[in-house]
Amino acid sequence: MNLLSTYMKIASYQLIKRSFAAFICVAILSVGASTSLYAQSGEELFNQRCAQCHQIHADGTGPKLYEAQKRWAADGEAELIIEWVQNNPALRASGKSKRANKIFAEWKGSVMNTFTDLSKEQVKSILDWVDTQKPGGDGKGKDGAAGAGATEDGAKKEGGSGWLWYILGAIFITIILSVSGVRRQLKIVTSDDPQNESLTYWEEFRAWSWKNKKYVGIVSFILVLSLLVTFIQILGNINVMEGYQPSQPIAFPHSVHAGVNGIDCKYCHSSVTKSKSAGIPSVNVCMNCHKHISGSGKPYEGEIKKIYAAAGWDPTAKAYTNKTSPIVWNKVHVLPDHVYFNHSQHVVAGGLDCKQCHGDMTKLQSTAKVHSVGELNEIEGNVKLTKPVLTMGWCIECHGKYQINLGDGKNQYYQEIHERLKKEKGQKTYKRFINDNKGVSVAELGGWECAKCHY
């Protein structure tokens, strides 16, 4: 027994020693993986959120970002740059940052997007990554991210630290096998049954499972249920497009057109009141203004030249050359073929504001994108929803919450249903509508019928 006791102590010591060494190795690799992922997330976030307007080593639509932290620190506002990125209008309004108002004035009131969904750590990772891009490159990040194409490229780019997770997985498997082997040897040594020495791992596992079949059954049920729930959640996320912002041939700044210049959405998207499609403006609509606005010396001069090339316009001679080329825009809001959606129905009959679905375009400095439901909920006047944008649940939820104005006399579309509800037979229905939802929703007028959107 002394020999056995000594053996068990040695085996236990070796097991602890191996496990501790493996733990140290895993911890070191985990730190390395976290650091690498932190830097990687900075690059990806830059490509997804910043590259539309900012270059790294040169001014673009917005100021260059290289050493921005150093410039803010020089003004004694090192910490405020985070708040500037997250919500620059709020920082300017607070009056605690002189640099914020200085930048706003230097860029002639050009409104920067707010990124309230980014954490302090994420903003810091962007700025830290930018500062690692030394001058002498293309000044646009790894993917040449200075134009509208950067967002899509950055979103598609896979991380470079995936191999670390494979190594971590291999180490964990090695630890499990090592511990299992030592445990098995100890069991064989301490067992009086010679049959235990001839059992394979599988046979030993089967015997243990049969002995503890009650617990194995419970764990198996929970595991299968978890896998089923995970599978359903994965199915539910298929084709969820929130944050989708494809590259565009021209970096069109909605904030300049709809915001600074106050151009109505319907001027460019003129078919929105007459058709199911809002329409993409043809180049002649652009030329209505840009015959006279060349953007000379401004950040967008290069983009306006692309319009001239498409229209066949010579800005020097002030004449058309008849050498035209199409502008191949990439569609942003894409619905499946089996879904029917009519813009005019929502805008004219429903009186819905564009910002309910498309966000506040007066503040969007970059090309169009699919806003997240969180971003849309921050806009004043929008119906607050919870489901992902462009999903069936999102539409159904909106139809259930959006209240119809029946009796204000402004919308003749609902006059017929208003007259019916005023009659004796309709009064009970109307009272039920009022009691249920404090008004008449789209759903109560048939907005939840399947054939309204699928036929």
Mapped onto helix, strand or coil, the DSSP state of residue 362 is helix
pLDDT of residue 20: 55
pLDDT of residue 424: 67
Q: Which residue has the higher pLDDT, 187 or 175?
A: 175
For 104, phi and psi rounded to 5 degrees?
Answer: -60, -40
Closest listed residue to residue 53, CA positions, set 343, 267, 364: 364
Task: Find tokens 């470079």 and name the residue.
Answer: 160
User: Hey, what long-range contacts does 418-427 have (CB within 8 A, 24 or more apart)?
Assistant: none
Mean pLDDT of 160-172: 77
**Residue 368 tokens, joined:** 């169009």
**Dist CA 312 CA 310 (whole Å):** 6
Confidence of residue 307 (pLDDT cuts 50, 70, 90): very high
DSSP structure string for 19-69 = HHHHHHHHHHHHHHHHHHHHHHHHHHHIIIIITTT--SSS-SSS---TTHH
Answer whether residue 32 shows pLDDT above 60: no
Quickly list H helices, 335-455: 343-344, 355-358, 373-377, 392-401, 415-422, 424-437
pLDDT of residue 287: 94
Q: Which residue has the higher pLDDT, 275 or 10?
A: 275
pLDDT of residue 376: 94
pLDDT of residue 264: 93
* Residues ≥6 apart with Cβ < 8 Å to 179: 15, 19
Q: Which residue has the higher pLDDT, 122 or 412?
A: 122
Mean pLDDT of 365-388: 91
Taken in order 254, 255, 257, 262, is the CA torsion positive or negative?
A: positive
Q: Is 149 left (phi over 0), alpha (psi -120 to 50) or beta?
A: alpha
Number of other residues whose CB lies within 10 A of the CB of residue 262 = 8
Answer whether residue 152 shows pLDDT above 50: no
Confidence of residue 149 (pLDDT cuts 50, 70, 90): very low
Burial of residue 61 (CB within 10 Å: 0-12, 13-18, 19+) is buried
* Residues ≥6 apart with Cβ < 8 Å to 257: 263, 268
pLDDT of residue 409: 65
**Mean pLDDT score of the chain:** 80
For 176-204, the pLDDT digits (tens) are 877 777 776 776 666 656 555 566 767 77
Mean pLDDT of 93-101: 86
Q: 218 pairs with which residues across the strands?
A: none
**Residue 158 tokens, joined:** 């896979």
Q: Which residue has the higher pLDDT, 431 or 362?
A: 362
Mean pLDDT of 218-231: 95
Q: Which residue has the higher pLDDT, 416 or 40?
A: 416
- Ranges 189-198, 342-351, 362-371: which has the least confidence: 189-198
pLDDT of residue 22: 54
Q: Which residue has the higher pLDDT, 161 or 187?
A: 187
Mean pLDDT of 365-382: 91
Cα-Cα-Cα-Cα torsion 25, 31, 35, 40, nearest 10 degrees, comes to 70
pLDDT of residue 5: 52
**Residue 56 tokens, joined:** 């790294």
Closest listed residue to residue 47, CA positions, set 192, 204, 158: 158
Mapped onto helix, strand or coil, the DSSP state of residue 314 is strand
Answer whether residue 394 shows pLDDT above 60: yes
Q: Which residue has the higher pLDDT, 161 or 141?
A: 161
**Dist CA 89 CA 112 (whole Å):** 8
Answer whether residue 444 shows pLDDT above 50: yes
Computed on alpha carbons and rounded to an integer, the radius of gyration of the chain in Å comes to 31
Task: Find tokens 């399947």 and name the residue.
Answer: 450
User: How many CA atoms within 13 Å lie on the side-chain side of 170?
Assistant: 7
**Dist CA 320 CA 54 (whole Å):** 33
pLDDT of residue 25: 57
Confidence of residue 145 (pLDDT cuts 50, 70, 90): very low
pLDDT of residue 48: 77
Q: What percent of the chain has pLDDT above 70?
A: 78
Question: 126: which DSSP letter?
Answer: H
Closest listed residue to residue 130, CA positions, set 120, 118, 141: 141
Answer yes or no: are the C-beta atoms of 56 and 139 closer than 8 Å.
yes
- Most confident range (mean pLDDT) of 27-31, 293-297, 362-366 is 362-366
